[in-house]
Chains A and B, each alone.
Chain A
Amino acid sequence: SQKIEQNSEALNIQEGKTATLTCNYTNYSPAYLQWYRQDPGRGPVFLLLIRENEKEKRKERLKVTFDTTLKQSLFHITASQPADSATYLCALGKGSSNTGKLIFGQGTTLQVKP
């Protein structure tokens, strides 16, 4: 069956370090992958989209990689700050139906300590 896995345990890092979050999937062939940030009591907020033919995408302190052979995406936050503390969700989208319907992972909680 289709499965998306993110680090189930919270990730705790020191301010200034690089946070790396993992998203692995099985039995799925996404056309694109998105990362969202979610704060407690709020809806997810879009961060980055990467397509199946792209290896890497960057936006300010954020970097996403997408390896369709390994079926994995890595999400990096460089020079992390306490304000980066949140839950990060990866979401896969299929291109064939082109609906924009997303399949989400369970999320990884990041805690950046000052």
Chain B
Amino acid sequence: GAGVSQTPSNKVTEKGKYVELRCDPISGHTALYWYRQSLGQGPEFLIYFQGTGAADDSGLPNDRFFAVRPEGSVSTLKIQRTERGDSAVYLCASSLTPGAREAFFGQGTRLTVV
């Protein structure tokens, strides 16, 4: 595709439910990142994939959060037993290779836990 695509754009879920957020990066980009952004704050790093493997998951807040990228392209961020504090915009970004280069962001998925 032309850019990074995230679905859904909005997700409302009840506390305690399970949600999946999808990211379709730019074709050929090997590096993929998930960030979380709360209102009035900058994006906060969650996890980085190089190819299929999670090379750095140091930003995942707890074991309710998990992400996969099984074929090295599309990635899914999974959140179990959602809590109201998980409400935020979840951003996905990709870059051609890792390192000091431009990251292309999707428009984000706004998750609201009620």
Interface residues of A (CB under 8 A from B): 4, 31-32, 34, 36, 41-46, 49, 51, 89, 91, 93, 95, 97-107
The distance from the CB of B77 to the nearest CB of chain A, in whole angstroms, is: 15
Most chain B CB inside 10 Å of its own CB: which residue of A34, A44, A89, A104: A44
The distance from the CB of B100 to the nearest CB of chain A, in whole angstroms, is: 4
Interface residues of B (CB under 8 A from A): 4, 31, 33, 35, 40-45, 48, 50, 55-56, 91, 93, 95, 98-108
The distance from the CB of B74 to the nearest CB of chain A, in whole angstroms, is: 17
List of 9 A-B pairs having minimum Cβ-Cβ separation, nearest first:
A104-B42, A43-B105, A46-B102, A100-B98, A32-B100, A98-B99, A104-B43, A106-B42, A44-B105
Q: Give the residues in chain A near B103, CB-CB below 8 Å.
A: 34, 46, 100, 102
Q: B45, B106, B107: which contacts A103 (Cβ < 8 A)?
A: B45
Please determine whether A100 and B100 come into contact, CB atoms closer than 8 angstroms: yes
Please determine whether A43 and B99 come into contact, CB atoms closer than 8 angstroms: no
Given A99-B98, A100-B101 in contact, is the A43-B91 Cβ separation under 8 Å? Answer: yes
Given A43-B91, A43-B93, A89-B42 in contact, is the A100-B107 Cβ separation under 8 Å? Answer: no
Bound-state Cα–Cα, A107 to B44, Å: 12
